[in-house]
Amino acid sequence: MGSRTNVKQDTSLDDIAEAIQLLGTAMGEGFERVGQQQAETNHRLTSLEQQQAETNRRLTGLEQQQNETNRRLGHLETDMSIVKDTLQTLENDVKELYNMVADLQKHIRRTDKLDTDIEKRLVAIEIFAQAVSKQTGIPYPL
């Protein structure tokens, strides 16, 4: 018994060579398609990497903007606190001024003789206090 495999008796060496050539061509085409697919995949990966790098640059920029905004906000909060304290001091000063005007009015009106010059100055002070009240919103006690 020979070691022959299932080869038909009528198959020639030319037929086998042609089949091998066709198989080689098909394999070559398959390898070429795989190579093209790999090149396309590599191109897509490179594009994705570039997009990722751009996104990272943008995120870094946004983080820097956020840090700058937070820094500015901190300064604004400090400034607002200073302004609030200053306004509170101003309000206290205006209220003290009102009390001084009220005390002055009481004192002047208690005197028997009212000097017209003093009366004019008192009216001017009252007008000033009312103007301050309008500008500050701090009510002037009448």
Per-residue pLDDT reduced to its tens digit, 40-75 = 999 999 999 999 999 999 999 999 999 999 999 999
pLDDT of residue 98: 83
Pairwise CA distance, residues 19 & 120, whole Å: 126
pLDDT of residue 2: 46
- pTM, to two decimals: 0.48
pLDDT of residue 39: 93
Closest residue by Cα to residue 95 from 43, 133, 53, 46: 133
pLDDT of residue 45: 94
Residue 8, in any domain of the structure: no
For the residues of 32-89, what is the DSSP string, one character each? Answer: HHHHHHHHHHHHHHHHHHHHHHHHHHHHHHHHHHHHHHHHHHHHHHHHHHHHHHHHHH
Both tokens of 22, joined, read 């066709």
Residue 75, in any domain of the structure: yes
pLDDT of residue 44: 94
Residue 5, in any domain of the structure: no
Residue 89, in any domain of the structure: yes
Domain that holds residue 42: 13-136
Residue 116, in any domain of the structure: yes
pLDDT of residue 1: 43
Residue 42, in any domain of the structure: yes
Residue 6, in any domain of the structure: no
Number of separate domains in the chain: 1
Residue 88, in any domain of the structure: yes
pLDDT tens track, the chain, 142 positions = 444 555 556 778 888 889 999 999 999 999 999 999 999 999 999 999 999 999 999 999 999 999 999 999 999 999 999 999 998 898 898 888 888 888 877 777 776 566 777 777 878 888 888 888 888 888 877 6
